[in-house]
């Protein structure tokens, strides 16, 4: 560890941010957290080394340059990370996930501050096997779905599938950071999270009208209410899930070892945990039935729905990530 740092954490109030703030404070760092909400930060709001800024960075009323200049390290988690929103509001997705994040990166360049940028495993797009399928000699060869930070191609869907604007914005931002690094103007580390799960991940759909939480929360509500666990396009997509505490352990090492992490990209995930969405639904239902479902409580059903019906026109997805 390189000693206590003054850390500016942008997007501190989210699922990953709130867990990361707790870990940084335990590590002796001084943390300034910024977000539009703080309900997930209840356990640290009164911590003597935590400073809270309640603001929307998009409003530009906040003095970003001053906050960056006062920090030793900037951690940027600001993003919309919700497939339903990618389809419904693609321009807003690009504005926040690229334009606003670029503004943060450029402030780090001006002030010579290290930046840890959260990206996404979605930048890998579709696997080679997912695109070429049976045209490959061996579609099941694991090399066709192995994601390497430095060598894997990034295969996105067509422009008409505007769901890819999220992954494209993230990938473009990564390329800009790399370009600044080539000119020796920015020290950065890029983190590509792979499907983190754990406490505070989201909300139940019934708790927020029109809300679009991630699949774990959708399935959880169906289990609690005896509803339907809907599998988009059959649920054949495969995901590798990572428990949040394990992910934060890894991220803390990236924070505390700047020399080793300098201008590096990190996949943060647990490759041994890959499961299809259908398999996840069946596993969650099995565990819930065995441990939590009360006598007489309706059992959740499992059904298939098309991506268009569930998300809307313009939806597409990665086959594996």
Give the residue numbers marked as catalytic. Answer: 166
Q: What are 197's two structure tokens? A: 């799960």
Under 8 Å between Cβ of 91 and 58:
no
Q: How far is CA 124 from the centre of its chain?
A: 13
Q: What are 270's two structure tokens? A: 């647990």
Under 8 Å between Cβ of 293 and 299:
yes
Instruction: Report which of 5, 83, 80 is spatially closest to residue 36, judged by C-alpha positions.
Output: 80
Instruction: Identify the DSSP state of 99.
Output: I
Q: What does R_g of the chain's alpha carbons equal in angstroms?
A: 20
Decide: helix, strand or coil at residue 139.
coil
Instruction: Report which of 301, 100, 149, 144 is spatially closest to residue 238, judged by C-alpha positions.
Output: 144
Q: 298: Cβ–Cβ under 8 A, 6 or more apart, which residues?
A: 225, 226
Instruction: Report which of 171, 170, 121 is spatially closest to residue 147, judged by C-alpha positions.
Output: 121
How many Cβ atoms are within 10 Å of 41's Cβ, its own excluded?
21
Instruction: Report which of 76, 66, 139, 82 is spatially closest to residue 105, judged by C-alpha positions.
Output: 76
The DSSP secondary structure of 59-86, one letter per residue, reads GS-S-HHHHHHT-SEEEE------HHHH
């Amino acid at each position: 560890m390189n000693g206590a740092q003054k850390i500016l954490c942008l997007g501190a109030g989210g699922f990953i941010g709130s867990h990361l703030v707790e870990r940084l404070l335990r590590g002796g760092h001084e943390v300034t957290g910024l977000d539009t909400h703080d309900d997930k930060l209840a356990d640290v709001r009164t911590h003597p080394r935590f400073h809270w800024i309640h603001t929307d960075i998009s409003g530009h009323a906040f003095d970003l340059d001053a906050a960056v200049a006062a920090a030793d390290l900037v951690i940027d988690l600001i993003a919309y990370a919700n497939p339903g929103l990618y389809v419904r509001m693609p321009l807003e997705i690009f504005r926040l996930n690229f334009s606003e994040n670029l503004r943060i990166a450029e402030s780090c360049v001006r002030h010579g501050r290290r930046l840890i940028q959260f990206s996404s495993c979605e930048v890998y797009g579709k696997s080679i096997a997912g695109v070429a399928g049976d045209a490959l000699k061996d579609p099941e060869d694991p090399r066709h779905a192995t994601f390497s930070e430095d060598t894997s191609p990034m295969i996105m869907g067509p422009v008409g599938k505007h769901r890819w604007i999220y992954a494209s914005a993230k990938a473009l931002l990564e390329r800009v950071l790399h370009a600044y690094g080539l000119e020796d103007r920015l020290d950065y580390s890029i983190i590509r999270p792979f499907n983190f799960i754990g406490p505070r991940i989201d909300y139940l759909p019934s708790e927020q009208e029109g809300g679009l939480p991630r699949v774990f929360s959708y399935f959880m509500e169906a289990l609690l209410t005896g509803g339907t666990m809907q599998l988009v396009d059959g649920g054949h997509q495969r995901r590798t899930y990572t428990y949040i505490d394990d992910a934060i352990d890894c991220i803390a090492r990236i924070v505390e070892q700047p020399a080793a992490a300098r201008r590096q990209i990190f996949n943060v995930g647990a490759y041994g945990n890959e499961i299809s969405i259908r398999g996840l639904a069946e596993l969650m239902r099995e565990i819930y039935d065995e441990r939590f479902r009360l006598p007489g409580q309706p059992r959740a059903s499992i059904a298939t729905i098309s991506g268009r019906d569930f998300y809307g026109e313009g939806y597409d997805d990665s086959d594996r990530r």
